[in-house]
Chains A and B, each alone.
Chain A
Amino acid sequence: MAAGTKVIKKPKRTLADQSFVVELVKGLGVTFKHFFKGLNQMRPGGPRPDVTNFNYEDGIATLQYPDEKRPYARRFRGVHRLTHRANGEPRCTACLMCSTACPAQCIWIKPAEFPVGHPSRGHERFPEEFVIDELRCIFCGFCVEACPVDAIRMDTGIHMTAIDDRGSFIFDKKKLMSIPSQDGDFVTSNDRPEPGDKNYGGITRLQGH
């Protein structure tokens, strides 16, 4: 026998070990312990951990999605919405910054000029059509970052779930304007007043400046 070799004796096996019956019962004991613990937690009114702290508390580790949902952070990027002006028109000026920034190229906008006589004519333009393909969207939020006038937001809190019809992922202007924020707001926080508006603070040539 070579020097430095350690000899380990073969452990002795009893009949109980050899038959596996005892160990099997022990193992099933652990399984059933957790089974009944879980069963207890699952019963109505049972001691379930809060969904928010699910990861940090003892107990069952499975969230019963979609019956149970973990609440999203307020800054969660949900499906888009288009904000309104005070008068209910879209705040969007159809600048195409969002569609330029969009890495998925899923925003399509057709800009248009306000009709003659409209107070915003010359000062603004508006999106005649505004379409987002939510299926192509990667929810990066670049569009919201790019918007110079707070016209597009992703603060709806809505997680787009699977629908078996692709067409319903194409959100048009009407649809985008019908979605409120998670607090129920529609109006933009950047409602720039224009000459002629009541809350307009500027000086115009007509005021004899």
Chain B
Amino acid sequence: MPTFKLDGKEIPFEKGETIIKAAHKQGIEIPHYCWHPGLSVAANCRMCLVEIEPAANQRAMMLDVLVWDEKKKDYVVSRKPKLQPACQMAAGDGMVVKSETSEHVALARKNVQEFLLLNHPVDCPICDQSGECKLQDYYMSEQATKKRMRDEPQHKPKGQVFGPTIVYDAERCIACTRCIRVCEEVIQDPMLDMRERGNLFEVITSPGRQVEGHYTMMVEWVCPVGALTTSHWRHKGRVWLLKGTQSVCPGCATGCNMWVDVDPRENTAFRNRPRENEAVNQYWMCDDGMLSYDRVYKHRMLHASVDGEKSSSAKAIEAAAQHISAHKGSLAVVLSAQRSVEENIAAVALAKAAGADLYITGKASWDGDKILRNSDQNPNRAGALKAAGVESLPSVDELVHKNHSAILVLGEDAEVANDVVARLRARVPSAPKVVVLATHEQRGAWLGVATVVVPITVWAETDGTFVNAKGVAQAFKRALAPRGDVVTGWEAIVKIAKASGLDTGYSKLSELREAAVSRGIEAAPLKKQDGVSPGTNTPRSTV
């Protein structure tokens, strides 16, 4: 592989790769605004300028400049090398690039910063990007001087609504055009355009359009400053009060990698952010995935119930165990494509011990697309099948025709929704006893026929693994503590099995993990990066 030298360090690169991208791959950041690894090169912000030494047989390209001479109290003629944008300059073999080590680069960055902040409103106190804003980061690292312009800055519209999810502040915009490019290149829908230039630059929506569709939040996500904000996070809190945890989107079978940002003081999730993974979601997520953090607190099933009466989880587990041991002979266990591999393995073990039949359920499919969204709304169908060690399992549709006298359901979702309820209810007086391990109320059809409901954790409240549609196993970590009387999913199953005299052979999460590995489900280990504020630990401010 060819290499070039960046500040004395050898950086390997692929042919045609730019300097900034090769450095980014090595974890070295060259300050930049308009460049984004997932977008085309615009080279309009000039923050990424670097000094490239001339090749051995060439002269350096020099520019005449005036510099202030403190002794003479006058400008004197001087020369400086012409700097190159690292985001556009293709790396060459043996190139010698100076970024942090060049005084000319340092001065250029400082001046670019000063120009960008000339008309900036500096309303960081009310800006939601504050804490993960490139203008703040580079002000501290590259500029750190007071503002010299004494005039009132240029004022432009603030708080413009661009669509149901996006709000635009023209004063904070640095004209990098990332948002316009993400619309064209990633979302493939040119919803945004621009008008005027320089200080008068404004991003506008295309005539007759607003920012809409399934990927609007990526428009905000790419903005390196606070010019674009989402209506969901806007004025909700401060990023430095959040802690990011590595997670996987539970929204569909694509399994986009993401961070769940949690406020530990309130034990609640406030937002999701894409986590870079070249093989799965690159840098992006869809809106439904970005908003899936609300599953943590919205419509949660927080109380157990037995025969329609509110109860404690411990009592519900006992009641569930009674039904299961009483009906061991004709038990059905319904796995869930919504739940993690570990929970499904526990459920399979219970089914084996009781000699029960296995079925699978999940959510109904939705509109997929060619960008990210998979038409299967379940994050772990492949994982649930692998947990059972089979290619396919009968669906709930078939369950209705069988005469099981007890059913244990993992998760309250059912693809065939109300159908199940109607048909199982119709079987009175031989209606089966149904034990549902549920996360949310008012959602799944199973709750309509439940004899016993045990509230269990959502994905963000426990460690787990999902296997996406492509068969990639991905681990996620616990982001918050379980709320209320909620029992950890796999634990609920193991406890029910134990109380009904069945042996699953599992008592720890690590044992379930080992069982997953023995079934060929091995997720790449996660980095040790959790529990730090978004601005400091995660790629938001470096991409």
* Chain A residues packing against B (C-beta within 8 Å): 93-97, 100, 105, 111-113, 121-125, 148-149, 195, 201-205, 209
Contact = CB atoms under 8 A, between A and B. Distances in A.
Nearest to A123: B158
Contacts, number: 50
A100 B238 contact: yes
Interface in B228-242: 234-238, 240-241
A205 B238 contact: no
Interface stretch (B38-46, B149-157, B379-387, B429-437): B149-157
B235 A111 contact: yes
B27 interface: no
B208 interface: no
B125 interface: yes
Contact of A209 (B154, B158, B238): B154
A198 to B, nearest CB: 16
Interface string B139-171: 000000000000011111111100000000100
Given A122-B158, A203-B152, A203-B154, A95 B125 contact: yes
A100 B240 CA distance: 9
Interface of B: 123, 125-126, 152-160, 169, 200, 234-238, 240-241, 265
A97 B125 CA distance: 8
Given A96-B238, A111-B237, A113-B235, A124 B154 contact: no
A209 to B, nearest CB: 7
B159 A111 contact: no
A96 B236 CA distance: 10
Contact of B159 (A96, A122, A149, A201): A122
A112 B235 contact: yes
A124 B123 CA distance: 9
A124 B126 contact: yes
A203 to B, nearest CB: 5
Given A94-B126, A100-B238, A111-B235, A122 B169 contact: yes
A149 B126 CA distance: 11
14 contacts: A93-B125, A95-B125, A95-B238, A96-B237, A97-B125, A100-B238, A113-B235, A122-B159, A122-B160, A195-B155, A202-B155, A203-B155, A205-B155, A209-B154
A202 B238 contact: no
Contacts of B154: 203, 209
B156 A205 contact: yes
A111 B152 contact: no
B237 A205 contact: no
B238 A201 contact: no
Contacts of A195: 155
A205 B119 CA distance: 13
A103 to B, nearest CB: 14
Contacts of A96: 237-238, 241
| Interface core residue of A97, A125, A148, A202 (most chain B CB under 10 Å) | A125
A125 B152 contact: no
A137 to B, nearest CB: 17
A109 to B, nearest CB: 9
A195 B170 CA distance: 14
Nearest to B167: A122
| Interface core residue of B153, B234, B238 (most chain A CB under 10 Å) | B238
B153 A202 contact: yes
B235 A125 contact: yes
Contacts of B153: 202
B126 A204 contact: no
A16 to B, nearest CB: 75
| Interface core residue of B153, B157, B240 (most chain A CB under 10 Å) | B157
Contacts of A209: 154
